[in-house]
Structure 1
Amino acid sequence: MRRSSYFLSAGLAIVVAGMAHSAHAQGEIKIGEINSYSLLPAFTEPYRKGWQLALEQINAAGGINGKKLVVISKDDGGKPADAQTAANELVSSEKVVMLTGTFLSNIGLAVSDFANQKKVFFLAAEPLTDAITWAKGNRYTFRLRPSNYMQAAMLVEAAAKLPAKRWATVAPNYEYGQSAVAVFKKLMSEKRPDIQWVDEQWPPFGKLDAGPVVQALAAANPEAILNVTFGADLVKFVREGNTRGLFKDRAVVSFLTGEPEYLDPLKEETPAGWIVTGYPWYSIKTPEHDAFLKAYQAKYNDYPRLGSIVGYQTIKAAAAILTKANSDDPEKLIAATEGLSMPSPFGEITFRKIDHQSTLGAFVGKTALKDGKGIMVDSVYRKGSDFLPSDAEVAKLRPKE
């Protein structure tokens, strides 16, 4: 009898534990997050801090329709195949209801392809290639950050006013760099048919040999340069360019360089007067940004980078989508996201139905040196919605579904 009683009690304990685990699981909503943490910590560490702050705020406010939001994060190591493996593990083993994140454009495209094949909702955070919402766009993929087209259009607005006619370009030789150069050249040539493109330099990403690149650009004798390098490549390019006088009396237009994660490492070597997109957190005076800045500094005792904004808004957007859909069904998530508007530290943004691109904008300004540190001056926020092609043009760019 005692043995029977013991086994009965043990059995009940297992059942009760299972029920408790099941109830706990039912009280949670899990989303997967993938990024190149080990490869690009300058951007992805602030990005992680941003999404962790958002997650804390969301759960403190009651979660998703009363359920706790859980983020399961994986590092893709900067490799598309590893990103797809991580995505598969998150969906099949962790049972996440959506995927978020990615940094490099080729990785974003790999995860987007996985999402399309497996019919899983994917909110791309950072990858900028136009292909992710246009040429290779699919119904399961949405993108938060302003695309190459949007940032190029913002830069062209200022660049087209320069007197320079002879232009050269330098960009990393992978999807992002190729896409950025192509769209900038297209939009610039449309506004200024008198422009000549006299040289292109395509160093491998993360392996820029600055001497030969700067020498080749100087030999082409351009009046202006489009720069798409970032991170460690940017530091090498600027240092060598300063040493050889490449930037003297030449205009430079540069994607991303005004972002603190890329501007800060330049320190006193920061070249003045470059036209850039970026994030001048120190000069943005709006209630939405003030609230974000105060919360971020209180939690981390540090200033935000653009990665902080992207990470924060990615999880805030995921929460808004899940709350509206009140379901983990991918089709309902898609329906909830198309046309969805929400607040952000940069003001209200909307995920467009036609191409799944958000209207988050960017700041455009010029680089300057202050107290031995690079900053952005004369910066103006450009709304993403003002720098996108017409619906008719987008319809031609995006595959029929």
Structure 2
Amino acid sequence: MKRRTVLGLAAGTAAGLVLPAGAQQGPIKIGELNSYKVFPAFLEPYKKGWELAVEEVNAAGGVLGRKIEIVSRDDGGTPGDAVRVAEELLSREQVAFLIGTFPSNVGLAVADFAKQRKTLFIAAEPLTDKIVWDQGNRYTFRLRASTYMQTAMLIPDAVKLKKKRWAIVYPNYEYGQSATAAFKKLLQAQQPDVAFVIEQAAPLGKIEAGAVAQAIADAKPDAIFSSLFGPDLAKFVREGNQRELFKGVEVFNLLAGEPEYLDPLKDETPNGWYVTGYPWAEIKTPAHAKFLAAYQAKFKDYPRLGSIVGYSTVMAAAAAIRKAGALDQEKLVEAMSGLAHGTPFGDITWRPLDHQSTMGAYVGQLAQKDGKGVMVNWRYVDGKDALPSDDDIRRMRPTN
């Protein structure tokens, strides 16, 4: 009876009956790792974003006739744990390639691992410039605008103000250090007489905000550049407000306009700060409107920037597989180089030169509306317009 069944299936196939697409193969597994427990404010919306993308890709028929499946793991927020998790995803789970990571130091560790294993790695969130420039490699690509790029987007406003005495406060790890270096370099290039009167490097997640705010106040700066985010930012804002630190002082802060970090400030939101962020409720482009409607229908909540990052990362992974036509690592890497696809922020391209995507960011100022923090006077800056020259990048980036 079994023999007749097998012969019958064979005869049916020979007669032109085709089994459903992907029937002979399981889903394409993509390994995702991130610091979910350490950075929940960003990464819980991020997870929802990639879940929505997976649902949409599979509803449209998947890729290469197969559904995609994300195998997700928490990387503990440390480089060592992340490398161990990445190895487990490849060896035990047999994933096709890797995506994800949040902190810059973790992203760099996984990028180096991907280079050693010759495996595609799409870095979703780590903002360090090194991941595509100084320590860039053939197998690593990065989605978000880097610290250099987002800082460059703020520089025109900083230059216009012509403030000479600057204070700097940042989280003391790769991201904060990189952002500070970029800001000083870019501002000094356009305003040589600028002076940095004080720098405060705070341990990530452990800022002594009162002492930091007082030290900056004592230095009497004309302006402040900050790359604080999350609870560190909230504590700094609270202590600064109490000391009237921001009164008559211009403040620039990377990331403070992202809903993840802006919403908790509520009526403590300082007015007039220059920030990068995501004014989700006011963006009226067709691409964003479509994403917003789908996200709210599925989750009964509004998106955060993490939602955009998670969604766009999976859409990039799916687009790369389609373009490659296979799961061979070298074909996937070639497919990522120059890959173009849509995101809720519009179309982006993954640059062959440095593997940086051209996803941009929204730049504006903070204000309060109905007791909540909002972005005003905002504009979208395309990532391609906030990069160093190609020659500068070639000098920084090692050969693959």
Give the TM-score band, short-chain normalised: over 0.9
Equivalences for 1:112-261 in 2 at 5 Å?
A: 112-261=111-260
Distance 1:249 1:293 in 2: 37
Instruction: Quote the residue 2:372 is aligned against.
Output: 373
Alpha-carbon distance in structure 2 between the residues aligned to 1:24 and 1:255: 48
Counterpart Cα distance in 1 of 2:183 and 2:313: 26
- Work out the number of aligned pairs and report it: 383
* Mapped pair 1:101 → 2:110: no
Tell me which residue corresponds to 1:354.
353
Q: Distance in 2 between matches of 1:29 and 1:277?
A: 35
Matched residue type, 2:324:
A
- Counterpart of 1:387 in structure 2 is 386
3-state DSSP of counterpart to 1:281: coil
State the 1:65 CA deviation: 1.9
1:336 and 2:319 are equivalent in the alignment: no
Q: Secondary structure of 1:160's match? A: helix
Paired residue secondary structure (2:356): coil
CA distance in 2, matches of 1:25, 1:158: 57
Displacement of 1:211 after TM fit? Answer: 1.1
1:126-162 CA distance string (max 9 Å, x none): 0000000001110000000000111010010211111
- What TM-score, normalized to structure 1? 0.94
Structure 2 partner of 1:37: 36
User: How far apart in 1 are the matches of 2:63 and 2:352?
Assistant: 23
| Aligned sequence identity (%) | 60
1:86 aligns with 2:81: no
TM-score normalised by length of structure 2: 0.94
- Distance (Å, rounded) in 2 between the aligned partners of 1:88 and 1:140: 15
**Counterparts in 2 of 1:200 and 1:323: CA distance versus 1, 3 Å:** same
**Equivalence for 1:66:** 65
Tell me the distance in 1 between the aligned counterparts of 2:27 and 2:162. Answer: 58
AA aligned to 1:364 is V
CA drift of 1:26 comes to 2.2
Could you tell me how far 1:163 is from its partner in structure 2?
A: 2.7
CA offset at residue 194 of structure 1? 1.7
Matched residue, 2:288? 289
Partners of 1:157 and 1:27 in 2: how far apart?
Answer: 51
Q: Residues of 2 paired with 1:216 and 1:93: CA distance? A: 51
Distance 1:340 1:46 in 2: 25
Higher mean displacement: 49-58 or 70-79 = 70-79
**How many angstroms does 1:274 deviate by?**
0.2
Q: Which residue of 1 aligns with 2:19?
A: none
Task: Give the match for residue 75 of structure 2.
Answer: 76
> SS of 1:283's equivalent?
coil
Aligned Cα RMSD in Å? Answer: 1.5
Aligned to 1:303: 302
1:3 corresponding residue in structure 2: none
d(CA) in 2 for partners of 1:232, 1:47: 18
> Match of 1:5?
none
Give CA-to-partner distance per residue, 1:65-118, whole Å, 9 cap, x none. Answer: 211101000001211111111100000111111100000000000100110011
**1:366-398 CA deviation, whole Å, 9 max, x = no partner?**
000011100000110000001111111100010
Cα deviation, residue 340, structure 1: 1.0
* Counterpart amino acid of residue 261 in structure 1: E
| 2:14 alignment counterpart | none
1:18 is aligned to none
Distance 1:25 1:264 in 2: 48
Provide runs of 4+ in structure 1 moved above 2 Å. Answer: 23-27
Deviations 1:161-201 (A, max 9, x none): 11311001000000000000001110111111121111100
What is the Cα deviation at residue 24 of structure 1? 6.2
Output the CA distance in 2 between the equivalents of 1:158 and 1:349: 25
**Is 176-185 or 156-165 further displaced after alignment?**
156-165
Write the letter of the residue equivalent to 2:199: E
**Where does structure 1 lack aligned partners over 5 or more consecutive residues?**
1-7, 13-22
- 1:54 alignment counterpart: 53
How far apart are the structure 1 equivalents of 2:234 and 2:219? 22
Q: Which amino acid aligns with 1:214?
A: A
Provide the rounded CA distance (Å) in 1 between the counterparts of 2:319 and 2:399: 27
Q: Tell me the distance in 2 between the aligned counterparts of 1:55 and 1:157.
A: 38
**Runs of 5+ consecutive residues of structure 2 not aligned to the other structure:** 7-21
CA 1:95–1:25 in structure 2 vs 1: closer, same or farther (change >3 Å)?
Answer: farther
Cα shift at 1:25 = 7.4
Instruction: For 2:346 and 2:221, locate their aligned partners in 1 and report how far apart those are by CA, in whole Å.
Output: 38
Aligned to 2:344: 345
Q: Which amino acid aligns with 2:29?
A: K
